[in-house]
Amino acid sequence: MYNFDKVINRRQTNCLKYDGEKAFDSQMIPMWVADMDFETLPEVKIALEKRAQHGIFGYASPNDPYYQSVINWMKKRHHFQIEKNWIITTPGIVTSLKLAVRAYTKENDKVMVMKPVYYPFDDAIAINKRVVVECPLVFTNNHYYCDFELFEKTIVENQIKLFILCNPHNPVGKVWTREELYQIGTICKKHHVIVVSDEIHMDFVYEGYQHVPFYNVDESFKEFCIICTAPSKTFNLASLHTSNIIIANEELRNLFVNEKHAAGVTSPNIFGLDACEAAYTYGAEWVDELINYLKGNIDYMKQFLETRLPDLKMIEPEGLYLIWVDMRALGMNKNELEDFMLNKAHLWLDEGYVFGTGGEGFERFNIACPRSLLKKALEQLETAINERGE
């Protein structure tokens, strides 16, 4: 029903992905930022056109249908029961991470992350004069795991106040199991650590896996956790700056709201509200078809690497549309690899080293694009590697 093979020219459209600083030649294929090359569903476009035709763009406020669309989406897609007063709108999850760090910690407090991980986590901590503490994931047999003994030891030894969880985990594509989340939550509860669970990629989970919202693991987890959600990844709405932060505990919610006001974050984006409501109301079938298309892209890339570039090892994703590839067999250091990708393969990727410990030698590919573009990108990579070996 929906055409995800359609190629849309995004150059010269004020597009960060295609018009950014590294898009310096006509061959360059940008596959870095988590921004899909698919147009969103028709009902979102209709909602935005209706708003534009109204012609008044004053201060906005979420209404009951907006809140109900969020509640219904979480319930139907994730068996996640939330209440209206738990939902706090913000301009985005990165903004919300910074607000949470400021709301729940003081300067010089220590905040833990599990690396390699989405690099704005570090910035949200460090820019607010808190200390980043790493608990590296364990990489074995082409999979990532949490060392729970190390996880608890790191919390105790560093007197961790806040832990930022990435669920599903960006960039490695891991979907945490209920059992793993229970161990994480139990340890954090034991040591009075507040958890900020970034669940923005919750809708991208493949067959055989299931996203488990952190609140669904154990009722008591609501008392020390906030959950960050947004329609931006799912429906490609990032520039509309609308996210929904879910906070069940009243004390944590009040602290967050107070920090939001202190930072001057007030009215939401009126177009973002309309787009979110339309997406969550009408987008289920669109997302189902999208997931199937993305799985086809993943399968295509996996077969391509296995048959034509066997030295490169794809970490098969359980979730996300971001593919984590082990490039260490090429024998390049991080600077050589980045230069090779940009100037030889003409691919603009997110370099593994930016995700911190355990990331060097890896590359993150955004495969949320028409298959013809993915094919071209992989062929460019193959040509560059073959020319290097001559």
Q: How far apart are CA 267 and CA 247, in angstroms?
A: 19
Q: What's the mean pLDDT in 240-257?
A: 98
d(CA 140, CA 153): 21
Determine the Cα–Cα distance for residues 144 and 316; give it in Å rounded to an integer.
Answer: 11
Residue 158 is inside which H or E element, if any?
Answer: helix 148-158
> Quick one: tokens of 12?
């010269």
Q: What percent of the chain has pLDDT over 70?
A: 99
* 214 closest CA partner among 245, 171, 235, 172: 245
Q: What is the pLDDT of residues 57-83, one digit of tens each?
A: 999 999 999 999 999 999 999 999 999
> For position 347, what pLDDT does the model report?
97
pLDDT given for residue 322 in this prediction: 98
pLDDT-derived band at 21, boundaries 50, 70, 90: confident
pLDDT over 80 at 88, yes or no? yes
The average pLDDT across 249-262 equals: 98
pLDDT at 23: 72
CA-nearest of 152, 157, 226, 164 to 190 is: 152
Report, as an integer, the average pLDDT of 311-317: 97
Mean pLDDT, range 362-366, rounded to an integer? 98
Average pLDDT over residues 340-366: 97
Residue 20 banded pLDDT, cuts 50, 70, 90: confident
Residue 131 has pLDDT above 80, yes or no: yes
pLDDT tens profile 141-174: 999 999 999 999 999 999 999 999 999 999 999 9
Q: Taking the mean position of all CA atoms in its chain, how far away is CA 111?
A: 19
Confidence of residue 368 (pLDDT cuts 50, 70, 90): very high
The pLDDT value given to residue 281:
98
Phi-psi sector, 236: left (phi>0), alpha (psi -120 to 50), beta: left
Lookup result for tokens 């979110």: 276
Q: Looking at residues 281-291, what average pLDDT do you find?
A: 98
Exposure class string for 67-83: b at 16+ Cβ within 10 A, else e: bebbbebbeebbebebe
pLDDT at position 1 is 87
> Residue 22: its pLDDT value, please?
78
pLDDT at residue number 350: 97
pLDDT of residue 25 exceeding 90: no
Q: Distance (Å, rounded) from C-alpha 227 to C-alpha 215? A: 8
Average pLDDT over residues 94-120: 98
> Whole-angstrom Cα distance, residue 361 to residue 327?
5
pLDDT surpasses 80 at 24: no
Torsion from C-alpha of 210, 213, 218, 222, nearest 10 degrees: 180
> Domain locations in the chain?
16-41+284-388, 58-282
User: What integer pLDDT is reported at residue 26 of this predicted model?
Assistant: 83
**Identical fold, 16-41+284-388 and 58-282:** no
- Which residue type is seen at 97? L
pLDDT reported for residue 182: 98
Residue 390 pLDDT class (50, 70, 90 cuts): low
The CATH code of the domain at 16-41+284-388 is 3.90.1150.10
Cα(198)–Cα(200) distance, integer angstroms: 6
The mean pLDDT value for 230-236 works out to 98
Instruction: Give yes or no for residue 330 having a pLDDT over 80.
Output: yes
Q: Does domain 58-282 have CATH number 3.40.640.10?
A: yes
Confidence of residue 294 (pLDDT cuts 50, 70, 90): very high
Q: Which residues contact 56 (CB under 8 A, 6 or more apart)?
A: none
DSSP state of 130: -
Q: How would you label 357-387 residue by residue, b for 16+ Cβ within 10 Å and e otherwise? A: ebbbbbbbbbbbbbeebbeebbebbbebbee
In angstroms, the CA 91 to CA 74 distance is: 19
Predicted pLDDT of residue 267: 87
- Kindly provide the residue ranges of all beta strands, DSSP E only, lying in the chain, ordered along the sequence: 29-30, 87-90, 110-113, 131-134, 138-140, 143-145, 162-166, 194-198, 225-229, 243-246, 313-315, 322-326, 347-348, 350-351, 362-366
What pLDDT, on the 0 to 100 scale, is given for residue 317? 98
Count of alpha carbons within 13 angstroms of residue 10, beta-carbon side: 21
Say what the pTM is. 0.97
Q: How many of the other CB atoms lie within 10 Å of CB of 128? A: 18
Q: Residue 126's pLDDT is what?
A: 98
